[in-house]
Structure 1
Amino acid sequence: MSRLHNWSDGESFDPAAQNHRQQALRDDLMTTLVTFLTDRLAQDPTVAGSKGSALARMVGAGLPAPDGFVVTTQALQAINPPELQKLLAQLERVPVTDVDAISQVSSLVRDAIQGVHLDAALLEAIKAAHHRLQSDSVSVRSSATAEDLADASFAGQYESFLNVLSFDGVVLRVRDVWASLYSTRAIAYRLQARIDHESVRMAVVVQKQLQPDASGVLFTRDPVTGANRFVVSAALGLGEGVVAGDAPADQFVVDPDTGSTISSQIVSKDVKVVSAPSGGVERREVPQPAQTNPALSAAHIIELSAMARTLEVLFGGSQDIEFAVVEDAVHILQSRPITTLDPSDDAGWDHGLDEKYNWTLSEMTTTKGPVFRLQLDSGLAYANGLRQC
């Protein structure tokens, strides 16, 4: 191969070697900005946030999770607009009770993030990772570094998006997730919890969008009593129907050791949440014969329970687990600690109350179905309300 002379320093110049060094630098930069869930780097929560690092650890442990990558916390830091620091300094002087002032600064900060120029290297890294996924539909989800603290949970504070259909859509939603770090609600929560705004970093998880037959959540402890039993809520279609309460969901109480179902409440599931052809999600009617079929089979619950036990060991505590079932295969979408759990003795249900009182659903309830054991339903509603995202 020919070598060209570099007259400026008297040394020979090798074009192939130079190209190799430039490619190595680009690869290093892309790894800093974007890392796949299969990469060990993604297991670092300071790089991939709480959600991303948990997913990476699950993948590393051999648990089934959708393929994906993380736009790291470094990406947002790298494009940090100068005016953002001034605005964040203002937040430190805003009283937690002054909602108008918080909202005003929040709007300015989010506008600054939405309008900032994205470096070509970052766009190239995201585009290459998106292409490598080979998926027409992806989810774009927030993954902050302070989502699941022992004394504070940020579940539901930040934005996430399902069924994003293009690279341009991914870039748009990445910006939206970044901006949600400074939503009025998130800012107020940090002020109340006395968490420094600049100490919280935001990564973004991009994963293949599954089209599940059923999805839901599993709590490895009773969310109300703290009793040692698995509590499962599952609906047809996407798990958004369970989390947002947009679709009727079956309830299961499960023996944590065997995965056998102790009790269940199967509702009429007349609607489900699915991916919309134009992006995002939509509600769709369920055909009459399938409405009364359980969302999960006994085999699904046993397999899911085995994964839940593995996750408790992996993360060292009780877990709040999102899952999906696609063609009888169980996938784990997320696992986080149950930060709101107060341990207590198992509380029995006084069936005598059922003879004395008539239980009714609130007029605000949008889903159909009979009234069930209030201890279970209220607990799931409360827990799901805390974890919406």
Structure 2
Amino acid sequence: MRCTERPEGVEVTFDPKAYLPDDLLDRIRERAPIHDRENTFPERDLEELRDAGYLRILVPAERGGAGLGLEQAAVLQQRLATAAPATALAINMHLVWTGVAKVFSDRGVPGMEFVQDGAARGEVFAFGISEGGNDLVLFGSDTAAVPQGDGYAFTGTKIFTSLAPVWTRLGLHGLDTTSPDAPKLVFAFIDRTDAVTTSDDWDTLGMRATQSRTTRLDGAVAASEHVVRRIDPGPSPDPIIFGIFSVFELLLASVYTGIARRALDLAVETVQKRTSKKTGLTYSQDPDIRWRIADMSLAYDALPPQIAALARDVDEQADNGARWFTLLSGTKHRAVVMAKHVVDEAILTAGGGSYFSSNELSRLYRDVLAGMFHPSDPESAHSTAASALLGPLEN
């Protein structure tokens, strides 16, 4: 696969294999079933990806990165997910923050240069936004953000903290209810200190290698230079909201689209090898099997161009106005629905052997289920689309 990047209107060739070589991908793929079976974090994957410069792909060249755009990062995350979905999903959370920093710098908004510099040095940034029972997500928080000197101390519980064993900085939000201009949502970054406790509670159906453990904060301090934003709770046009939402949704869509690509490839490979006792022909010659394969392809083919187009809009600062949130949540929703459908069909196409836990399709079947739990969930995506078309619900 090749695509283009467009810095300042100049079209140049972008080769994903330059950032994710086949041999690196093969090693990551080989380790994926081990981490899934043993419920362990892929430390070696992270080490090799860091050495390859992958953690800084979205960092500008002048700050020590590769200078890629979100469009290219989305292609790379699809490629990584074909080898190890959980590794790709974990790395996603780091790339979200470097992507938000890029959204800021592209638009001339200061304050997140330390994220770019940290990523260039090899730091690992984790995503500490999700909270149990908080369906406001970005628009509210149950975590207390208390002013402390020039910074903030955060107390609360974050869930689904991917990269839990290895992160060096945690990007998070909390609610300041004590300042004169309160309430304010505070977005900031903390270091790993004794005020942060990571629970060893990640034992899930799928995506096991992400190690997205619960994180408890007890006065964890963010220095003033690492407080990125103080904004009013609720929907906001602030770049922190747009940056997180756009990068998060598109990179999530990329991971699940990558899972679908791998499932399709495995299904094609399997039916070309299996032979029917009834006809003496490979299953690739069976009309019903061919229909399933075609159906999978037709579903999959729609997503990579959608992701690329929206990611390019983010890179080029296109003005999609109020449509942004519908477009972004819709793309993520379609990607996970499509991926689950493709994996379901791949399982049926490949036959009973795929039901064994040692079969890669069995792992993909479990991994793909996680997509429905990430924001925007199906209810939120549909609500956003309905409000855009019909207006808000009447009181």
Normalization by structure 1: what TM-score?
0.27
Larger Rg: 1
- Which has the larger strand fraction? 1
